[in-house]
Amino acid sequence: MQRILNSRHLTGWLLAAPLVVVLAIFLVLPVLMIVVVSFWQATEFSIVPAFDLGNYEFLFTSHVTLDVFWNTFRYALITWALTLGIGFTVSWFLAFHIRSQTTQVALALLCTVPFWTSNIIRMISWVPFLGRNGLANQAFLSMGLIDAPLDWLLFSDFAVILAFVHLNTVFMIIPILNSMMRIDRSLLEAARDAGASPFQIMTNVVIPLCKPGIMIGSIFVLTLVMGDFITVRFMSGSQSANVGRLISNDIGLLQYPSASATSVVLLLTVLLVVAGMLRLVDIRKEL
């Protein structure tokens, strides 16, 4: 019996070995290299491979970098809240108000239509709509809602958040919808028979059973927003910044040690956020 168990154990390791090798080469080693480079020194003309904590000291003492990190968290939290509200509402409608499974699938696939084009194309499409002479301002002017075009619709924090929500809402819809479709409808009927209101059914039955899906969607949205820099650059008109753009600027200036240090701090921050979320909900139920 022990020989059989040892054989199965060895077989399991052999089957996992190729994936372990791939992950070690293309994930672990690059991350280790980034960590090592983050302790190097950089001058105007060269990079010195010497141990130095100056890059991290600058990150944690500079008001500029602290403001950039706060800006990143602010974008992530606002986008998460909006995508959660939209994703939960859309998923609720598809799961509990659409009777036909074919229609449910068709409408769920319709939510993925924007992904048939690139993120940049979808961001640029907002420019003629939100611009000073764009469709939104022209519509508001024609209806008499405003006397002059609104300047804050484009190249502002509003435009950045709008683009983030547009790009990432589907990552919240699909996991939540998957959780809602697994809910036994007899539980909802039992709650109604017990006299529960629709709000009580949602808060006491649906939301607790949808926690794994909500957590998966939240992890997707938060990690994507915190690592994004193209959206902030285009939609803010280069008037705002986040950590991703800070890293991009350092790379453009060939300041690889500084970029590596910022990347390490961002990676650790994201890992801590994800670890904290995983402590709250066991998402293995959805996997």
47 in any annotated domain: no
Q: CB atoms < 10 A from the CB of 2, how many?
A: 6
Answer yes or no: are the C-beta atoms of 214 and 88 closer than 8 Å. Answer: yes
Confidence at residue 32, expressed as pLDDT on a 0 to 100 scale: 94
Amino acid found at 121: I
Q: Which residue has the higher pLDDT, 174 or 2?
A: 174
Assign residue 49 a region: left if phi > 0, alpha if psi is -120 to 50, beta otherwise?
beta
Domain that holds residue 224: 63-286
Distance between the two ends of the chain, CA-based, in angstroms? Answer: 31
**pLDDT over 80 (residue 284):** no
56 in any annotated domain: no
pLDDT, tens digit, for every residue of 29-57? Answer: 999 999 999 999 887 777 888 888 888 99
126 in any annotated domain: yes
Domain count, the chain: 1
24 in any annotated domain: no
Q: CB atoms < 10 A from the CB of 84, how many?
A: 17
Q: Output DSSP code: residue 283.
A: G
Q: Is 41 helix (H, G, I), strand (E, B) or coil?
A: strand
For residue 222, what are the contacts with CB-CB under 8 A and spacing of at least 6? 76, 80, 270, 273, 274
33 in any annotated domain: no
Q: Output DSSP code: residue 281.
A: -
5 in any annotated domain: no
Give pTM, 2 decimals. 0.87
Confidence at residue 2, expressed as pLDDT on a 0 to 100 scale: 52
Range in 6-15, 35-44, 71-80, 144-153 with the lowest mean pLDDT = 6-15
30 in any annotated domain: no
> 152: domain CATH number?
1.10.3720.10
